[in-house]
Every structure is written in C-alpha cells, then in structure tokens.
Structure 1
Amino acid sequence: DWYRANPITQYEGYWASVFYSHLAALGLELIAEDVTNHGCIDLTVKIPERIYLFEFKVVPDQATGQALAQLKARGYADKYRADGRPLHLVGIEFSRQQRNVVGFEVQMG
C-alpha cells in the first residue's frame, strides 16, 4: 500500500508536522523549530499554566531515549527558565520500521 512505500514517514519533519497540525487545531500557542543558542527545539507549546518542549526522533526500531537526551544535553529549557512557568521536556521517538510511536518520555524541566 502507499503508506508503506512512502518514505516521508522516515523523516522527523513529517512526524513533527503531524503533531503541529493536531495541536494547532486546538488553538494552542506553538513555535515550530524554536531557535536557541544551542540548536532548535522541534516544537514548543505554551499554555497559560506551563510550557512543553518537544523533541522528535526517528529511530530504527526501538526506543533509544535520544529525543529526551537531546533536550537535556543541549539545555533547551534554559531559554524559558526565567518565564516562571513549569517546563515539561517531552521526547517522542518513532520507529522507522513500525511507523509508529515507540518511545515517549516526559521530564519536568
């Protein structure tokens, strides 16, 4: 079928756009490719009570933890620490083979 033959699902940007479109439909404040001095946060979601920082990774088959690890290693939360709202780091990993979420980690920043 077309879904299995379509290579677009093997790219992080595809999955980021899926999440972005769903969250945008809710009317949330979103920043895609949110620039920091250490790189780009894939997606930042701001709600009045808190801020969520998302990193998406496509992995060969099983979760590796590299999405959340990147958020922490690059200090992406530093950009929003002075804001005062609670920060949540969200790492989501998609399997290149299964074309589905295989890893989902959340950490208070």
Structure 2
Amino acid sequence: MIPYQVFDRHQEKYFHAIFFLTFKLCGYHITSEVSTSTGRIDALLQIDNKVYIFEFKLNESADVAMQQIHEHGYYKQFLGQGKEVYLIGISFSGATKSIAEMKTEKLS
C-alpha cells in the first residue's frame, strides 16, 4: 500500500516512476520517455527478441493508451527486425492507487 503522504493522485508521472523503478530494481533494462518523431513512448522494455511498448494513462481507459500507441506509430521502428512486439496500455486509478485496466496486443 502506498502511504497517502507520498501519493499524488493527480500525476500520471507518479505511477510511471513506480512502474519504471519496479522493473529497474528487478534487473531489467527499461527506458522511459523514449523520443520518437511523433511523440514519446512512456516506457520501453527489450528482453532478448521481445519488445514491450508501454503507454500509461491516469484516470482514462486503457483503450485511450492503446489508441495513442497506434496513432503515433510507436511500434513501427521495431517491425521487420525478427522481434516479437507487444503493445501494452495501462490505466491507473487515482482513487484506488492501482492499475485499473490493462490491454495488450501482440504484433507479428
């Protein structure tokens, strides 16, 4: 449980930082705010031949996050490299301080 004294329910970047630190502390090479020509990928995780593209939303649906990934084409640079590409949209709830919804899509 996150103590209310350090919790900021109005900032997506709070959840973003917790997510990033969790993967980093587990020893994964994760990058944050990866710039592209059309925007920034919230988080990018590459493991062996797999690429995971994360988009986070606070108090919005996971569908909105997935829509942003598709509209901005965050995945395009990874296609044709023989890697499995996964798109992951995560919706955080400021009220419950947790993941409210998650959508995934695998590209071939």
* Alpha carbons of structure 1 residues 58 and 39: separation in structure 2 relative to 1, 3 Å: same
Q: TM-score, normalised by structure 2?
A: 0.86
In structure 1, C-alpha distance between the alignment counterparts of 2:49 and 2:43, rounded to whole Å: 17
Aligned-pair distance for 1:57?
0.3
**Equivalent residue, structure 2, for 1:85:** 83
Query: TM (normalized to structure 1)?
Result: 0.85
> What does the per-residue CA deviation read over 1:41-90, in whole Å, with 9 as the maximum and x for residues that have no partner?
00000000301000000016xx3511111111111001221432110000
| Structure 2: stretches of 5+ with no match in the other structure | none
Q: Report the more deviating stretch, 93-102 or 66-75.
A: 93-102
Seq. identity, %: 25
Structure 1, unmatched stretches of 5+, are none
In structure 1, C-alpha distance between the alignment counterparts of 2:63 and 2:59, rounded to whole Å: 10
Between structures 1 and 2, the one with greater helix share: 1
Equivalent residue number for residue 63 of structure 2: 65
* Residue 34 (structure 2) pairs with residue 17 (structure 1): no
Contact preservation (8 Å) 1:65, 1:103: no
Spell out structure 1 runs of 4+ moving beyond 4 A. none
Point out the more displaced range, 14-23 or 91-100: 91-100
User: SS at 1:37's partner residue?
Assistant: coil
Q: Report the Cα distance in structure 2 between the residues aligned to 1:7 and 1:65, rounded to whole angstroms.
A: 25
Hey, what does 1:32 align to over in structure 2?
A: 32
Q: What letter corresponds to residue 49 of structure 1 in structure 2?
A: N
Given that 1:45 and 1:51 are in contact with CA atoms closer than 8 Å, whether structure 2 keeps it comes out as: yes
Q: Say whether the 8 Å CA contact 2:9–2:95 is kept in structure 1.
A: no
- Please give the alpha-carbon distance, in whole angstroms, between the structure 1 residues aligned to 2:62 and 2:77: 25
RMSD of Structure 2 on Structure 1 (CA): 1.8
